[in-house]
Amino acid sequence: MKLLYSLTSPYARKVRVVAAEKRIDVEMIKVVLADPDCPVNQYNPLGKIPVLILVDGETLFDSRVIVEYLDNRTPISRLLPQDHNARVWVRRWEALADGVCDAAVAAMQESRRAANLRDEAVIAKQMGKVERGLQALNDELGDSKWCVDEMFSLADIALGCMLGWLDLRYKDLAWRKQYPSLARHYDEMMKRPSFSETVPPEN
Ligand SMILES: N[C@@H](CCC(=O)N[C@@H](CS)C(=O)NCC(=O)O)C(=O)O
């Protein structure tokens, strides 16, 4: 199996952390999306990473589908609970964490447009999603060590990858100060090699 990824993609990081936690060997193929020869469109019509290329040549995307596939490949370190309710709850955390990332990416793209094309209302709308999402995640986590049922799961991985990406792209956000439960959770995540070894580099 091969994974098309970049070092800075929070969605690809989610897959990399899952593969490491479950000790699944995946050949990592780093791509540069801005490169005109980037192969991603051949494997995902949406032109997005991550993409998992299976041994028979079939491809899987997006990150939520890939992590489910990997979690079912081996019972080692189950990251999606077997219990239906707990599983739905984990997926809800993942949807919220990924959604915060989606909004933060959209705000960043808008803010990079030339000043005469930039729409501040779009940025404010997207940043509203980021702030409400972070507040909800912080409140729901509260004093718990892990997001769902005091068990390490995909919910924790998705949350950590989103926060790590905010650290990279939104240095002024000061989320640690505003959301202490998230800060504590992030420190806990950093104790895991799967997470600390995949921190996105400055570039
Ligand atoms: N929902 C998707 C999001 C993937 C995504 O947006 N990836 C970004 C990189 S971080 C990308 O490939 N962007 C290229 C584009 O949108 O054209 C997932 O979870 O995999």
Class of domain 84-192: mainly alpha
Distance between CA atoms of 142 and 153, rounded to whole angstroms? 17
Q: Residue 62, preceding bond cis, omega within 30 degrees?
A: yes
Handedness of CA 19, 24, 25, 26 (dihedral sign): negative
Confidence of residue 10 (pLDDT cuts 50, 70, 90): very high
CA of 108 from ligand 1 middle (Å) equals 14
In short, whether 50's Cβ falls inside 6 Å of ligand 1 is: yes
Tokens encoding 76: 């080692």
* pLDDT over 80 at 3, yes or no: yes
Domain coordinates of the chain in residue numbers? 2-73, 84-192
Distance between CA atoms of 120 and 158, rounded to whole angstroms? 28
For 16-65, write each residue's pLDDT tens digit: 999 999 999 999 999 999 999 999 999 999 999 999 999 999 999 999 99
In short, whether 63's Cβ falls inside 6 Å of ligand 1 is: yes
CATH domain 2-73 topology = Glutaredoxin (3.40.30)
Q: What pTM was estimated for this model as a whole?
A: 0.98
Our mutation pick for probing the ligand 1 site, out of 38, 49, 65, 69, counting the most ligand atoms within 8 A of Cβ, is: 49
Residue 30: beta bridge partners?
A: 5
